[in-house]
Amino acid sequence: MVDVSEKPSTNRQAVARASVLLSKESICLIKEGGMPKGDVQAAARIAGVMAAKKTPELIPLCHPLMLSKIGVDIWLDEEKNSVEIESLVKNTGQTGVEMEALMAASVAALTVYDMCKAVDKAAVIQDIMLIQKSGGKSGVFKRSAKK
């Protein structure tokens, strides 16, 4: 594990995203609350929050962090037939929260997949990525928009 004991504590924030491509029928079932396993968006949101908290248990050499905020937003994009996921993680500390944000988005996407797989075997998880991060020595990172 990297020694961060000499680094100053700063406010840190990271945003990550993921998408789950589904059939039009699956999107309709989610929207209507008709998936057999229940409320897909609520379950995925909770799973994402739980995942961010468990990051150091699952990713080798990640520091255990005191997280001050974990937010997971989930919405349907009916034009793309996708479930869109965005996570936001914040803390004040000596190391960043990028991995926690990525874990939240990834596990939320896996939860959507799990809850839909009985109805939609062709579901695809894609575009898991860090969107932005701030704080620490390296400063701000913002992913440029897709062209």
Active site residue 73: no
Our CA angle for 15, 53, 69, nearest 5°, is: 50
Read out DSSP for 12-54? EEEEEEEEEE--HHHHHHHHHT--TT--HHHHHHHHHHHHHHH
Q: Considering 3, 39, 73, 114, which one is annotated as catalytic?
A: 114
Q: Among candidates 128, 124, 126, which has minimal Cα distance to 22?
A: 124
Per-residue CA distances from 103 to 49, 121, 130 (Å): 9, 23, 10
Which backbone phi and psi does 75 adopt, to 5 degrees? -145, 160
Cβ 56 vs Cβ 65: under 8 Å: yes
Strand partners, 53: none
Please identify every residue annotated as catalytic.
114
